[in-house]
Amino acid sequence: MTKRFGGVVALNDVTLSVGRGEIVGLIGPNGSGKTTLFNCITGVYKPDKGRVFFMGRDITGLQPHEVAKLGIARTWQKVRPFRNLTVLEAVTTGALLRTDSVEEARKTAVEVLELIGLPREEWGRLGSEITLMEHKLVDLARALATGPKLLLLDEIAAGLRPHEQERLAEVIKKVWSDRGLTLVVVEHVMRFVMSLSKRVVVLHEGRVIAEGPPEEVASNPRVIEAYLGIKPV
C-alpha cells in the first residue's frame, strides 16, 4: 500500500498481514507512517496504491462508518475528548452500531465498562471531568462496544505513567482473550509492546524495515539506526 501527501510519501509500498486472534505490535519513530496506515485501513484516507482486505473482503475506499460496521474499531492517538456526554452515554453510542434500541445498547455498554474495570461511580461523569487514563479506558470501551473483530490501538499508552501503562496492558490482554479479538497495537513504549505482542513490525519513513519477535526486532541494527539515527558499533 502507498499513500502520498503532496510530495511526502507517508506509506511506501507497505505490506502487512495480520492473522485472526493475533496481537501485532506496530512500532516506528514519529512520522514513520503508523497512524497513516491506520487511517488507510479504517477509510479515513484512501490509499494511492494497493488494497486493504478484511476477512477476505476488499474494503479499500469504503467510508469509515462502513469499515466500522464490518468490525474494525480503533482508538485515537491524541485523546479526542467528549465534553458534554457522560462516560456511559459515550460508550452506549458505540454500542448503538449493533442495535437500534438504546436500552440494549446501554446494557452492552455496562458489560464493556465492567469488563475494562472502570469503576461505576465514573460512569455518570462528563468527558470534561475525567482523567487522561480514564479517557483512554473510555476510548477503548467505546471501540469495544461497537463489537469489533479487529481492534486498532493507536498509541494508547502515550502520556500515561508506568503503573498506568501496566494496568492498561493487563486490561488489553483481558479484553483480547475475553472477546477473541485481533489486535494491532501502535506504540512508542517498547516495554508496553513487548508485554503484549509476539510479533512486531517496524515502520520507518513509510517502509517496513523489520518484522519478527519483539526481542529480535529490538536488537536489529536497522531498527536501532532508525530510532537513534546512528549505526551501532
Using CB under 8 A as the binding rule, whether residue 158 contacts other proteins is answered as no
CB neighbours of 60 closer than 8 A, spacing ≥ 6?
46, 47, 50, 51, 52
- Interface pick for other proteins out of 3, 135, 136, 142 (rule CB under 8 A): 142
Q: What are phi and psi of 212, to 5 degrees?
A: 155, -170
**Stretch of 11-19, 94-102, 162-170, 171-179 lying at the interface with other proteins (CB under 8 A):** 94-102
Binding mask 59-78 for other proteins (x = CB under 8 A): ----xxx--xx---xx-x--
- Give the shortest CB-216-to-other proteins separation in angstroms: 33
Q: Is 92 in the site for other proteins (CB under 8 A)?
A: yes
Q: With contacts defined by CB under 8 A, how many residues of the chain interact with other proteins?
A: 32
In whole angstroms, give the CA distance from residue 68 to residue 148: 8
Residue 171, all three cell numbers: 486490561
Which of 128, 219 has the CB closer to other proteins?
128
Cβ of residue 229: shortest distance to other proteins, in angstroms? 33
Minimum distance, C-beta of residue 145 to other proteins, in the bound complex (Å): 8
User: In whole angstroms, how far apart are CA 24 and each of 34, 80, 185?
Assistant: 13, 24, 6
93 binds other proteins (CB under 8 A): yes
Please say whether the beta carbons of 16 and 169 come within 8 A.
no
Strands of the sheet with 150-154, listed across from one edge:
72-74, 150-154, 182-186, 23-27, 199-204, 207-212
The phi, psi pair for 74, rounded to 5°, reads -145, 160
Contact positions vs other proteins (CB under 8 A): 42-44, 63-65, 68-69, 73-74, 76, 80, 82-85, 89-90, 92-94, 96-97, 100-102, 105, 127, 142-143, 145-146
